[in-house]
Structure 1
Amino acid sequence: MLGLETERNSAFSLRYFNRDGSETQFCGNGILCAAQWIHETGDRRNPIEFRWGGARYKVWMVKGRAQAELPQARNVELDMHLQLGGVVSYVVIGVPHVVTFEDELEHIDVNRLGRKIRSDPSLSPEGANVDFCQVVGSDRIRVRTYERGVESETLSCGSGAAAAFYIAHRRGMVGDRVKVSAPAAKTTISVDRGQMVFEGKPVLVYSGVLEQP
């Protein structure tokens, strides 16, 4: 669930809650959806500025698509040795992510392996989202993500796509602009002078009114 609040300085404040009720400090898909919704309600400011977890992000609307600044990558470990075995990559892009590279994704048991890696003592106490990544070419990658807080595979994870891109880019496996395919979304991530940008077009599925008792 995404909470949106207008601030006095004309920026917007965002909060995001996982299925288990925990609050997370960033959601790539969430910031795109918030910007798209603001734009579709008739607010034509461009860029749209958000405050989230003590940081500020700008989102530009370009030809009906949202282009969002992403958090700077932190705590990067290209080769992290898990206590339960195996070597993965680790990066925090707003939230912590483990990235593994696979030859194919169709037969990966994302829930079983993701749950095991997410709970590895090396990642304690926060844990991490787990992104299984397949590099298809220098301008295309595929990603499946196990998300903490949801504790299951999700159909699309924006920060997961960014984490996969960042690690693949650092390893020289992809170029500066890449199309990312998840089970339910196709997005684009690029980097220019150290700033990553996440681009996509969220689609309004339904609208309604939530009545609280």
Structure 2
Amino acid sequence: MIKDKNHCNLLYNHCNHMVFQDNLTLTKITMKIRFVKMQSGGNDFVLIDNRKSLIRDRAKLARKLCLRKFSIGADGFLLLENSKTADFRMRIYNSDGSEAEMCGNGIRCLIKFIYSEKLAAQKEISIETKDAIYYGKYKKELISVRMREPKKVNLNLNLKIKEKKEKVFLINVGVPHTIVFVKNLKKIDVKSLGSLIRYHQQFSPAGTNVDFVRVVNRHALKIRIYERGVEDETFSCGTGATAAAIISYKLGRVKSPVKVFPIFGKPLKIHFDPGLKEIYLEGEAIKVYEGECLLSR
């Protein structure tokens, strides 16, 4: 039964069906587990506290829980876990089951969850990811995470796409991003062109995320994102917003702070120093609802 519009105490029948597809007997159902649905700018996640290591096959569960229309549905699957080198550990899986090195919106949703659940009292917490250790703060409903210095920056690359040369810019801000500047975001076929760039032999075998960017003014960008692992356009992307801001700064088109407006979701703010030694990604993270799923061991 739904308690209120923000918090649901709800057992999802579609989760039961999802388990039954592989396990046809009730004796296989051995665990009821709580999940929280969270989003930032429309970039949505299923989050589970896995500090007791109850979930082992993370990739398989990611594919099931993130499947839209047949399950909870999300862009990604977040797991809060214990860490030996930081306060907490984040595992992030895309909806196709692939594990990502880092996720800017995902880590901010995780930080919001940690503080909301009173799992930490200090002003700043450290989060271990597959990429590096990140540091985050929660203040006045805004979650800020310090990003690491960018790597593998390339400001001079031309890709051959459908017999045409496309000028692109490369950067890794925890995950790889390819930036394409455009004049009209609404006319871009993000899924089609994004897929061609994402799977281009230049980026094989790992692939790349693709960000289509328009400069609005010295402190604002608009962006549309094709996310690797989701294999489609997403409403928002924290690392994509960071990548777009840093590349635009390196090209002399913007200066800090930069607001990055996705075509659908809410803006993110990027702060950075002139030497790019300190880069901060800031924005809201929202708990949409919570519920329970039945899982098999």
TM-score (norm 1): 0.95
| 3-state secondary structure, aligned to 2:194 | helix
Greater Cα shift, 116-125 or 15-24: 116-125
Aligned match for 2:202, one of 122, 128, 147: 122
The count of residues paired between Structure 1 and Structure 2 equals 213
| 3-state secondary structure, aligned to 1:75 | strand
User: 8 Å contact 2:82–2:89 — kept in the other structure?
Assistant: yes
| 3-state secondary structure, aligned to 1:117 | helix
Greater Cα shift, 196-205 or 6-15: 6-15
1:196 alignment partner in structure 2: 279
| 3-state secondary structure, aligned to 1:106 | helix
2:189 alignment partner in structure 1: 109
C-alpha distance in structure 1 between counterparts of 2:231 and 2:186, whole Å: 20
> Shift of the alpha carbon at 1:63?
2.1
Aligned match for 2:245, one of 147, 151, 165: 165
2:38 alignment partner in structure 1: none
2:106 alignment partner in structure 1: 30
Instruction: Give the direction of change, closer, same or farther, for the CA distance of 1:120–1:211 in structure 2 (3 Å limit).
Output: same
| 3-state secondary structure, aligned to 1:115 | helix
Q: Which has the larger radius of gyration?
A: 2
Structure 1 residue runs of 5 or longer lacking an equivalent are none
Give the counterpart letter for 1:196 in structure 2: I
Structure 2 residue runs of 5 or longer lacking an equivalent are 1-76
RMSD (CA atoms): 1.4
User: 8 Å contact 1:178–1:190 — kept in the other structure?
Assistant: yes
Give the counterpart letter for 1:107 in structure 2: K
User: 8 Å contact 2:268–2:281 — kept in the other structure?
Assistant: yes
| 3-state secondary structure, aligned to 2:149 | coil
1:76 alignment partner in structure 2: 153
C-alpha distance in structure 2 between counterparts of 1:21 and 1:100, whole Å: 27
1:148 alignment partner in structure 2: 228
1:176 alignment partner in structure 2: 256
Deviations 1:43-85, CA, capped at 9 Å, x for gaps = 3321011011152111012222111011221111012121443
- The 5 Å alignment of 1:129-144 reads 129-144=209-224
Greater Cα shift, 102-111 or 5-14: 5-14
User: 8 Å contact 2:245–2:270 — kept in the other structure?
Assistant: yes
User: 8 Å contact 2:88–2:128 — kept in the other structure?
Assistant: yes
Give the counterpart letter for 1:146 in structure 2: Y
User: 8 Å contact 1:105–1:144 — kept in the other structure?
Assistant: yes
C-alpha distance in structure 2 between counterparts of 1:10 and 1:92, whole Å: 22
Question: Greater relative contact order: 1 or 2 (C-alpha under 8 angstroms, separation 6 or more)?
Answer: 2
> Shift of the alpha carbon at 1:201?
1.1
Give the counterpart letter for 1:170 in structure 2: K
